[in-house]
Amino acid sequence: MIISLKMKLLRGAYASGDWEGVLQMDGSSTLEQLHFAIQDGLKFDNDHMYEFFTARGERSRERVSFDDENGGAYDRTIASLFPLPKNHHLYYLFDYGATIFSTTVTIGCSA
């Protein structure tokens, strides 16, 4: 099943303006594969840590994280995340902290 992921830049340290895009991926793709697709699409160098998480908002304390430290990015498929709980979103955080490409993307799904 192909899933269309609508992405919108929420903030970025060196973002020069608003950005939105749609990425289509097979639902059986892992979050790690999604990470590489986003990195390739945005021409990033994949040289920093990253994390996906589900939450009500990007700053919510209550969140479920999927990253390379807990192994969630390697095993979790995109299709297994959807539908998300009510009022929740999937977020992608790359190069977090006080580094150059601090980028957060929210992802919506339509099959």
Q: Token pair for residue 55?
A: 């939450």
In the chain, the amino acid numbered 74 is Y
Q: What's the whole-number mean pLDDT along residues 75-85?
A: 90
d(CA 4, CA 2): 7
pLDDT over 80 at 17, yes or no: no
- 38-49 tens-digit pLDDT: 889 878 787 778
Cα angle, residue 41 at apex, residues 36 and 46 outer, rounded to 5°: 40
User: What are the C-alpha distances in Å from 17 to residues 35, 36, 57, 104?
Assistant: 22, 23, 21, 14
Percent of the chain with pLDDT over 70: 84
- Among 34-38, 55-59, 102-106, which range has the highest average pLDDT? 34-38
